[in-house]
Amino acid sequence: MPSPGRRPQSLSSSRSWWVQLKRRSRYIYLKFIRLRGHPKELARGLAAGVFSGMFPLFGLQTIMGIAIAIRIKGNPLMAAAGTWISNPLTYLPIYAFNYRLGSWILGRPVVNLFTDVESMKAWLETGADVGVALMLGSLVMGAIFGTATYFVGLPLIQRARRRYRQFKHSES
C-alpha cells in the first residue's frame, strides 16, 4: 500500500521524461519567484555570482560569490546560482578567452596551449605569467558580465515578480 501523499510507482514511472522536466522546471521557476528580497537585492546577488563564476577558482567560486553578495547586500542564494555560469561545459571557452584577453591587456604573447610537447613545456615554465594573464582576463570579463547581468537581470526579475503577482491574484 503506498504511503499517503506519494503516488504509486506505476503512475509516476508512466509519465514521460518531458512532462517530468517541465514540472521540475516550473517548480524551480516558482521557487525563484518566491525568493525573499527586493529585486535589486536578487539582481545584485546574481551579478556577484556571475562575476565570481568567471574566475578559475574551482570550489571557491561559490564562496567568493556569496561573500561578495553579502558585502554588496545581494542575495546569497542568487550568488550561488550565478556561479553556475562556469560549469564543465563552459570552463574551456571561458578560461581560454579570459587568458587571451589578459595576455592582450598585458601585451604578452599568447602561449598556444597543448599544441605539441614543446608548447606544453613552455606553458608549464611560464605558469605564473599564464596565471596572471588568466586572472586579469577573468577580472575584466567578470566585471563586464557581472554588470551586464545586473542590468539585464533586474528588469527580468521585476517582470517575473509582476507576472507571479498577477497569476496569484487571478487565482483568488
Residues with Cβ within 8 Å of residue 84, at least 6 apart in sequence: 49, 53
More confident of the two residues 81 and 129: 81
- The grid coordinates of residue 170 equal 487571478
- The grid coordinates of residue 34 equal 518566491
**How many residues are recorded in the chain?**
172
131: nearest Cα among 154, 102, 94 = 102
The answer, yes or no, to whether residue 74 has pLDDT greater than 60, is: yes
The answer, yes or no, to whether residue 45 has pLDDT greater than 90, is: yes
In tens, the pLDDT along 47-59 reads: 999 999 999 988 8
| Cβ-contact 82, 44 below 8 angstroms | no
Q: What is residue 53's predicted lDDT score, i.e. its pLDDT?
A: 94
Q: How confident is the model at residue 4 (pLDDT cuts 50, 70, 90)?
A: low
Separation of alpha carbons 96 and 100, rounded Å = 6
The pTM of this model reads 0.72
The answer, yes or no, to whether residue 112 has pLDDT greater than 70, is: no
Instruction: Mark residue 114 as left, alpha or beta (left: phi above 0; alpha: psi -120 to 50; beta: remaining).
Output: left
Count of C-beta atoms within a 10 Å radius of residue 86 = 22
| Phi, psi angle pair for 43, to nearest 5° | -65, -40
Q: What is the largest CA-CA distance in the chain?
A: 71
The answer, yes or no, to whether residue 30 has pLDDT greater than 70, is: no
Strand segments (E) across the chain: none
DSSP state of 88: T
Mean pLDDT lowest for which of 36-50, 70-84, 157-171? 157-171
132: nearest Cα among 101, 164, 93, 165 = 101
Place of cell 581560454: 96
